[in-house]
Amino acid sequence: MTASTVKGIANSEPLLRVEDLKVHYPVRGSRRSKVRAVDGVSFEVYPGETLGVIGESGSGKSTVSRAVAQLVEPTAGKVWFRGDSLFDMSMTKRREMRRHIQMVFQDPHSALDPRMTIWQSVCEPRRVQRVGSTAERREHALLLLERVGLTETHARRYPHELSGGQKQRVSIARALTLQPDLMLCDEPVSALDVALQADIMNLFAELQAEFGLAYLFITHDLSVVAHIADRIGVMYLGNFMELGSIDEIIDHPAHPYTDALIKAQPVALPSYLRTNERVHLQGDIPSPIDPPSGCRFRTRCPYAESRCAAEVPEWREVSAGHWVACHFAGEIKLGASNPGRKSAGSQPESARD
């Protein structure tokens, strides 16, 4: 994964480009109010890179991935995949396009059909897209199952006969069958125990190196995203607050929300290596039906001023590739006491080089 941040951006066209994407859902019993699940996000994913999207529940991160997967119709905005606008093409073309974008979900149990054997499930995408003969599909499926660490015995079983970790491996194998360029991973390790989580995360890294996949990796867990992603976008209430390379975001957060997320993360380090500053955000995430005016984070922001209520902060680039939506980015001092920064044993920067 080393230097992939640079590799993706430097030499290629974006694989996926999302521009001003909005997804609004109607509210039952009201014609005027809408749930603004995603309210104007723009980002790019480059070939072979991992873009992590982090946010709390209700931030709209899953809806972004669902829109990219064409599982929900966006209210406004454009999504380009390899230069083609996804929502402007014919249904036939769209269906054909879908094979290049595959998805892995959080709960592997509900993602697999309980009435199909594992083998059938993994063959299904190729069957739907009419690739190869039945025998070829079965052979290919087995190859992939073996690649993710399962055997022919597992292939003959039904989902309920496998453990959570094994089922997640099956979902990953199934997502790989059509050799996608982009994999949308929606909280794929959140339902797993620590040991399994480590296995699956390592598997994601290996598969990326092997197949040159790009991931849009959605999670609520900052430490997971820090391990897997090259760049992270921080979402709050349907908008991106900050976007940049992982090191830049964690070492030099420019948005107060990012800073709060980093500080709220419990760290499994002995007390003498932790800084004891525990300034935590107050209150809950507001309702996406009636988001705050101006900056959406202002109701919980410790630095909010009157300007934040009046003006929507501009999405601007504070340093190369580091985007932020805050009036005071660069002016307020953030990230001075990140947990674990004192950790002398590991130098994060040097570890990556």
Residues forming the site for another protein (CB under 8 A):
1-2, 56-57, 163, 165, 193-195, 197-199, 201-202, 205, 220-224, 226-227, 246, 250, 260-274, 278, 280-282, 284-285, 338-341, 343-346, 348, 351-352
Cα 100 from Cα 181, distance rounded (Å) = 5
Question: Measured from the CB atom, is 157 or 341 closer to another protein?
Answer: 341
Q: Which amino acid is at 78?
A: K
Tokens encoding 62:
């899953």
Question: Measured from the CB atom, is 31 or 160 closer to another protein?
Answer: 160
Question: Measured from the CB atom, is 97 or 267 closer to another protein?
Answer: 267
CB atoms within 10 A of CB 338: 18
Question: Measured from the CB atom, is 205 or 318 closer to another protein?
Answer: 205
With contact defined as beta carbons under 8 Å apart, do 250 and 258 qualify? no
Least CB distance from residue 281 to another protein, whole Å?
Answer: 5
Question: Measured from the CB atom, is 108 or 165 closer to another protein?
Answer: 165
Handedness of CA 179, 183, 185, 189 (dihedral sign): positive
Least CB distance from residue 115 to another protein, whole Å?
Answer: 25
Nearest to 340 by CA among 276, 263, 273: 273
Q: Work out the angle between the directed axes of helices 134-147 and 118-128 (0-180°, nearest 10).
A: 120
Burial class (CB in 10 A: 0-12, 13-18, 19+), 348: middle
Least CB distance from residue 159 to another protein, whole Å?
Answer: 17
Least CB distance from residue 178 to another protein, whole Å?
Answer: 28
Nearest to 275 by CA among 335, 348, 345: 335
Least CB distance from residue 5 to another protein, whole Å?
Answer: 11
Q: Which amino acid is at 318?
A: V
Cα 25 from Cα 7, distance rounded (Å) = 37
Question: Measured from the CB atom, is 89 or 267 closer to another protein?
Answer: 267
Length of the chain: 353
Question: Measured from the CB atom, is 88 or 193 closer to another protein?
Answer: 193
- With vertex at residue 188, the alpha carbon angle to CA 186 and CA 189, rounded to the nearest 5 degrees, is 140
Question: Measured from the CB atom, is 183 or 225 closer to another protein?
Answer: 225
Name beta bridge partners: 50. Answer: 215
Least CB distance from residue 277 to another protein, whole Å?
Answer: 12
Least CB distance from residue 251 to another protein, whole Å?
Answer: 10
Least CB distance from residue 166 to another protein, whole Å?
Answer: 9
- With vertex at residue 102, the alpha carbon angle to CA 97 and CA 164, rounded to the nearest 5 degrees, is 165
